[in-house]
Amino acid sequence: MPLHSFNGVMPTIMPSAYVAPGAQVIGNVTLGPDASVWYNCVLRADVAPIVVGARSNIQDGSIVHVTRSTDGTFIGEDCLIGHLAMIHGCQLHNHSFVGLGAIVMDGCIIERDAMLAAGGLLTPGKRIPRGQLWAGRPAVYVRDLTDRDIARNRAGAAGYVELAKLHPRD
- Span 3-20, average pLDDT: 96
Here the contacts of 71-79 (C-beta below 8 Å, separation 24 or greater) are 72/28, 72/45, 72/48, 73/45, 73/48, 73/49, 74/50, 75/50, 75/51, 76/112, 77/32, 77/53, 78/53, 78/54, 78/154, 78/157, 78/158, 79/53, 79/157
| 170 vs 47: which has the higher pLDDT | 47
pLDDT over 90 at 81, yes or no: yes
3-state class (DSSP) for residue 112: coil
pLDDT for res 165: 94
Q: What is the pLDDT of residues 40-72, one digit of tens each?
A: 999 999 999 999 999 999 999 999 999 887 899
Q: What is the pLDDT of residues 96-127, one digit of tens each?
A: 999 999 999 999 999 999 999 999 999 999 99
pLDDT for res 93: 98
d(CA 97, CA 112): 9
- How high does pLDDT run on average in the chain? 96
At residue 170 the predicted structure's pLDDT band, cuts being 50, 70 and 90, is: low
User: Topology of domain 3-166, per CATH?
Assistant: UDP N-Acetylglucosamine Acyltransferase; domain 1 (2.160.10)
pTM comes to 0.96
CA 95 to chain centre: 11
